[in-house]
Amino acid sequence: MCGIAGIIRSDQAPVKQSELQAMIETLNHRGPDASGISTCGPVGFAHSRLSIVDLAGGLQPMQTPDGLLTVTFNGEIFNHIELRAQLKSKGYEFRTHSDTEVILHMYVEYGPECVQHFNGQWAFAIHDRKRKEVFLSRDRMGIRPLVYTQTPGQMSFASEVKALFALPDVKREVDLTALNELFTFWSPLPPRTFFAGVNELPPAHSMIVKDGQIKIWQYWHLDYQPNEDSRSLDDWAEELRDLLINATQLRLRADVSVGAYLSGGLDSSVTAAIIRNYTNAPLNTFSVNFNDKDYDESSYQQEMIRELGTDHQTVCCSYEDIGRIFPTVIQHTEKPVLRTAPAPMYLLSKLVRDSQFKVVMTGEGADEVLGGYDIFKETKIRRFWSRQPDSAIRPLLLKRLYPYMKNLQAQSPAYLKAFFKIRQEEIDSPFFSHLPRWDLTSKLKNFFSADVKQQLAHQDPLADFESQLPRQFSEWPSFCQAQYLESVNLMPGYILSSQGDRMAMGNSIEGRFPFLDYRVVEFAARIPVRFKMNGLNEKFLLKHAMRDLIPDSIRKRPKQPYRAPDAHSFIDTQKQSPRFEYVNHLLSAEKLQENGLFQPEAVQRLVKKIEQGRAIGTRDNMALVGILSTQLLVEQMIQGKTVSTNQNTTASATTLA
C-alpha cells in the first residue's frame, strides 16, 4: 500500500518537481520504503512506496518501455498472476513481477475498461502521452482513497488531503454542506469532503482528465436481485464458503508476512480460521482490549486463539490512551468522527508495525455484505411492528436490539417506540431503515452556531442523498435497501476510511478484506433475504457455512459491534475536569467563538454535564467527540497548527508535515 500524488496542468506549463516533492513528503507514513517522482511536461506523478509485492522491481512511478504510459498506483491487484498469464499469451513481455506493471499492460489491452478485470483494492492514475490525457480510477468498494482539487491552470490529486494542502494555491476552508451531511450520515456524501473545493473520486468510479476537462463515470454498480429461491441452504453455503476461501487465499499473496486481526467476533474469526485450515501461511493474530470491561472482548479472543493456535499479540487501551492519541488520529482521518473507535485501531496497527508486519487481513465488510448489523434487525422489527402498531407484545422485540447498550435497555416500551421512530407515515420512505440513526445524529446540529445554522437553513441532506439513489432502489427488498445504504455511505465514508485505511496507513500497514472481494459482494447480493437474517439471527448463511470451523460460543454469541469509550476518554468524571489540556483549550468558549462553528454556551453546558457525571447518553457522547474532532481539524488542517497532548497544548503556526 502506498501514497500517490499528481499534478495535471491544463495551461501546458511544466510541472514543478518541488511541488510534487512537497506533496509526497506529507504521505511518508503511507510508504516509508521508497519514493519517486516522474514529470513529463504538464503532467507529474509522485509515489511513496510500501513494498509488499516484488520488493526490488516495483518502484514507482512506473513507465512502459516506450515511455508512452506512466502509472502511480496505491493498492493491490490480487489476481495479477492470472492477468499476467493472460497478457503473456497475447505477447506482452514483463520486466518485473509487480502488479503495477500488470495494470500498465492491462490498460494497453483494454483501455479504461481494464478495471473490470481487476480483483483488488486500488487508486491509481495513468498518464497516456499518446492520448494526452490522464486516466484515474478507484476500487469498487472504496477501500483506497483518492481526492482531488482544481485550481486555476491545474488539477491535483492525492491519497490524502494533506498532500493537496502542500500546494500554495489550494485554499483551506470548511465545507459547511459537508459538515451538515457528516452530522447527519456520519460522513459527507461523495464527492464532497470536509474541505471546500476538495472532492473525492467516489468508489467504483473512474475519471479522465483532458484539456482541463474532467469526465467521471461509474464503472460498477451494486445490484440486489435476490433470486434462485429453489436453491437449498447447503447449496448457498457451499458456494459462499468456496468464495471466501479463494478470496482469502488471493489476499495472502505478498512477498512479506501477512497477519490477521482477531476481534473475538464472527467475521475476523472466520478469516483467521480459513488461513489456519486452507493455507500454509503462518497465523499471527493481533487484538485490541480495553480496561473498561464494557468494551472488552478478550475472553472471546482467547477462545479463538486456543482454537486456532495462533501466535497472538494484544494492545490494551485505557481512556488516557485514546485521549492522548486522538489529535494524531484526527490528523489522519481528515474528517470529523462521532466515535473514538478509530483511535484503538490506530494503536492496533502500531502494534502490527512494531511486530515487523506490513499487511493484515480483517473481517471488515461482512456485516454490510451478509446482513450482520443491528440496524438491519431493527428495520425488520420496525416494519413488523408497523403492521400492528397497537400490539402489546411487539414492543418487547425492541429489547432484542442493542443488548450491549445498558441505557437503552433500561428504557420503557413507550420510549423505545419513540426512539426507533415507529411511525406509519414513514413506512414508505426510502430511508426507513436509517431514519432513527440519522434523526439521532442530526440532533447534534443543535450545537451549530447561529451563523452556521443560518447558512444551512435551506439545505436538505436527505433530499440530496435521495437524488443519488439508483433507479432500481425502489424495486429491492427493504432489507437490501438498508444494506445498500450501509454499503455506499457508512462503509466507505467511515468504516473503511476513518476507521480503516487512515488508521492502518498511519502506521504504514495495509489492510486486506476477503469479505469485500467483488465476487463475494455480487454473490451476497443474490442471496435470499431469509438466508442472510433468519428470524433475528444475523449472518445466518455465514454461520451455517462455517459451522465446522468456528466454535458455537463464537457463532452463537450476541452480536457486539466494535466500540470504544467516548466522552470518558477526554473527561475525568472523578476529577470533574478534562484529562488533557488540548481538550480544555479547544472546547473553551474563546476557541469555539474564534472558529465559529459551534455555540460556546451549549458546548460548555455539555462539557459541564459530562464532568459532573450526570447521565451521559449516546447523543452526548457523539456530540462531544464530533465537536472536539471538528475543532481539531480546524486547528490542525485549516489553521496549520500542531496539537500535542502536553500541558502547553497548542504550538503556534507550525505547518503540518
Q: 298-308 and 266-278 are packed helices; what angle lies between their axes, rounded to 10 degrees?
A: 10
Active site residue 480: no
**Residue 125 and residue 188: Cα distance in Å, rounded?**
24
Q: Is position 292 annotated in a ligand binding site? A: no
**Buried/exposed 298-335: b ≥16 CB within 10 Å, e otherwise:** bebbebbbebbebebbbbebebebbbbbbbbbbbbbbb
CB 104, CB 87: distance < 8 Å: no
Strand segments (E) across 189-280: 198-200, 205-210, 213-218, 258-261
Q: What DSSP string runs through 90-159?
A: TT---SSS-HHHHHHHHHHHHGGGGGGG--EEEEEEEEETTTTEEEEEE-TT--S--EEEEETTEEEEES
**Residue 613 and residue 574: Cα distance in Å, rounded?**
8
Catalytic-role residue among 2, 114, 317, 480: 2
Q: Is position 488 annotated in a ligand binding site? A: no
Say which residues have a Cβ less than 8 Å from residue 141's Cβ, sequence separation at least 6. Answer: 121, 203, 204, 365, 487, 491, 492, 496, 513, 516, 518, 521
Residues linked to residue 148 through DSSP beta bridges, in sequence order: 157, 199
Report the Cα–Cα distance between both ends of the chain, in Å, rounded.
20
Taking alpha carbons only, the member of 313, 304, 314 closest to residue 276 is 304
Distances (CA, A) of 347 to 214, 220, 320, 511: 39, 34, 12, 14
User: What is the CB neighbour count within 10 angstroms for residue 435?
Assistant: 18
Q: Per the annotation, where are the binding residues?
A: 99, 288
Binding residue numbers for ATP: 288
**Binding site for L-glutamine: which residues?**
99
Residues that are catalytic: 2
